[in-house]
Structure 1
Amino acid sequence: MKILCIADEENKGLWDHFKKEKLEGIDLILSAGDLNPDYLQFLVTMGKAPVLYVHGNHDESYSFKPPLGCECIEDKVYDFKGLRILGLGGAPWYKPGKFMFTEEEMRKRVQKVKKDIFLKNGFDILLTHAPIRGYGDMDDPAHRGFLAFEELVQKYRPKYMVHGHVHANYGSAFKRELVHSAGTKIVNAYDKAILELEEQEYPKEGKTGSFLYDLYKQVTAKKEQRRFHD
């Protein structure tokens, strides 16, 4: 599976100078926040891949102008053909804002989503706006990461984490890729980055190992097949 990851700055080659072949072969687009909603809407319209997104700290306009045709996956585990993606957007609080959270507030969000993690027997990608504290973040209050993500990654050990918030023009602070001590590959999606996943890196659809969820997926698939044939 080929995934286009985007965050923080609209890529000119995918918008101002767009050519359709630039999205060929892309199966899924993940937005880690702080992007013009028109940009996400453009990508989902011009390409064949769905767009999943979380909010950045500057995405308050999404409240009255969400990117049409795109799916917000905040505070849940989204199943895309077996690939399980957990969305937790926003940034650490440094000033008032809808998508700004204290460490305690983010811990509460993580706690609430654990039911969905349990139901789907884990997750394969953690999609956030802010980084993990100590992995690709900065020391200033505006660009530090969340300690709550550290605990989440240590416990569930997803294959990948995709985030934004720290830009390439911040010099040596910007790291495109890092590997967490838990083995999770961390990707900064600033501008754009490509993830290519092998089939064995995530479960087949309906094969998560969670009895209830897999049964639900199998029943739903059979209903869809019957409806298609009818």
Structure 2
Amino acid sequence: MRICCISDLHGHLPKVPPCDLLLLAGDLVPTDCHGAAKGRRWLDAEFRAWLGSIPDATAVVGVAGNHDFVFQEGYPEFDRPLPWTYLQDSAATVGGLSIWGTPWQPTFFNWAFNLDEPELGSKWDLVPEGTDVLLLHGPPFGYGDPTPRGPAGSPTLLRRIEAVRPRLAVAGHIHSGYGVYHIGPTTFVNASHLDEQYAPAHRPVVLDLTADGVSVVDAGPL
């Protein structure tokens, strides 16, 4: 299966390369759409049109991020359903892959989906054994999470990834952490599209997931 991973769009909607599955790891709405009403309007217009430009053969699965306040009080209702699968501490199956999606991260300013440890660990405990793909917003501690104040990832998330051993985990949140990493047998991707100045800087990460493992097809700077 060819998988495309993108995170931290902040309203930028890049061209999606051909793939079987598109994973969106949160921070979707523009930074001027933090209000729930504005975020809902953007999702129903620009985001809907962008999803409609993606080939019908591509399944789209996404989670929210810390800028996506529109999702914090529950998934918004639309007159017409958006053509994607939204996950919030929930699962989906695509092409035989079990995907678990969750939007949380360690408290990061006064943003959405913030929790402190150990409450954060209770969210990771929900990740089922046998999960193939773990779709996150915040990264695990020490992987794709550098900040001037030190690593911003969750230690309990790292322990849960090491226990569940998904084939693929995808996050974003820390723009400077873009890249592909390995946590034991798990391929971990920070798929942040923007840089620290909130300008598009990184290509979508494209992977092939086969019985033999995960291989990177395309990644790097724009």
Instruction: Give unpaired runs (5+ residues) of structure 2.
Output: 30-42, 194-203, 215-222
CA pair 32-13 structure 1, distance change in 2 beyond 3 A:
closer
What residue number does 1:78 align with?
A: 92
Give, in angstroms, the shift of residue 84 of structure 1: 1.1
**1:17-39, CA deviations, whole angstroms, 9 ceiling, x for partnerless residues?**
xxxxx544x11111000113455
Give, in angstroms, the shift of residue 44 of structure 1: 2.7
Q: Which residue, out of 142, 152, 173, partners 1:144?
A: 152
**1:63-88, CA deviations, whole angstroms, 9 ceiling, x for partnerless residues?**
55778222111212321121111112
Query: Which whole-Å CA distance do the structure 2 matches of 1:157 and 1:58 have between them?
Result: 28
**1:129-152, CA deviations, whole angstroms, 9 ceiling, x for partnerless residues?**
111101111245697011121111
What residue number does 2:206 align with?
A: 194
Is this contact kept in 1: 2:62–2:84, CA < 8 A?
A: yes
What residue number does 2:219 align with?
A: none
Is this contact kept in 1: 2:166–2:186, CA < 8 A?
A: yes
Give, in angstroms, the shift of residue 107 of structure 1: 1.0
Partner letter of residue 66 of structure 2? N
TM score, norm. by length of structure 1? 0.69
What residue number does 1:89 align with?
A: 103
Query: Which whole-Å CA distance do the structure 1 matches of 2:4 and 2:21 have between them?
Result: 6
How do 1:1-230 and structure 2 match up within 5 A? 1-9=1-9, 13-14=14-15, 23-24=17-18, 26-36=19-29, 37=43, 40-47=47-54, 48=56, 49-62=58-71, 64=76, 68-111=82-125, 113-114=126-127, 117-118=128-129, 122-139=130-147, 144-167=152-175, 170=176, 174-180=177-183, 182-191=184-193, 192-199=204-211
Is this contact kept in 1: 2:105–2:120, CA < 8 A?
A: no
What residue number does 2:199 align with?
A: none
Runs of 4 or more above 4 Å deviation: 10-13, 63-67, 139-143, 199-202
Partner letter of residue 7 of structure 2? A
Query: Which whole-Å CA distance do the structure 1 matches of 2:206 and 2:158 have between them?
Result: 23
Instruction: Give unpaired runs (5+ residues) of structure 1.
Output: 15-21, 203-230
Query: Which whole-Å CA distance do the structure 1 matches of 2:120 and 2:147 have between them?
Result: 19
Query: Which whole-Å CA distance do the structure 2 matches of 1:99 and 1:139 have between them?
Result: 19
1 or 2, which has the higher strand percentage? 2
Query: Which whole-Å CA distance do the structure 2 matches of 1:142 and 1:45 have between them?
Result: 39
Is this contact kept in 1: 2:93–2:99, CA < 8 A?
A: yes
Partner letter of residue 90 of structure 2? K
Is this contact kept in 1: 2:101–2:135, CA < 8 A?
A: yes
**1:108-148, CA deviations, whole angstroms, 9 ceiling, x for partnerless residues?**
1122x25xx25xxx111111111110111124569701112
- Report the count of equivalent residues: 182
Query: Which whole-Å CA distance do the structure 1 matches of 2:26 and 2:150 have between them?
Result: 15
Query: Which whole-Å CA distance do the structure 1 matches of 2:207 and 2:191 have between them?
Result: 10
Partner letter of residue 27 of structure 1? D
RMSD: 2.7
Partner letter of residue 183 of structure 1? P
Is this contact kept in 2: 1:4–1:28, CA < 8 A?
A: yes
Query: Which whole-Å CA distance do the structure 1 matches of 2:149 and 2:77 have between them?
Result: 28
Q: Quick check: which has more Rg, 1 or 2?
A: 1
Give, in angstroms, the shift of residue 98 of structure 1: 3.3
**1:154-181, CA deviations, whole angstroms, 9 ceiling, x for partnerless residues?**
11111111110121xx3xxx3411111x
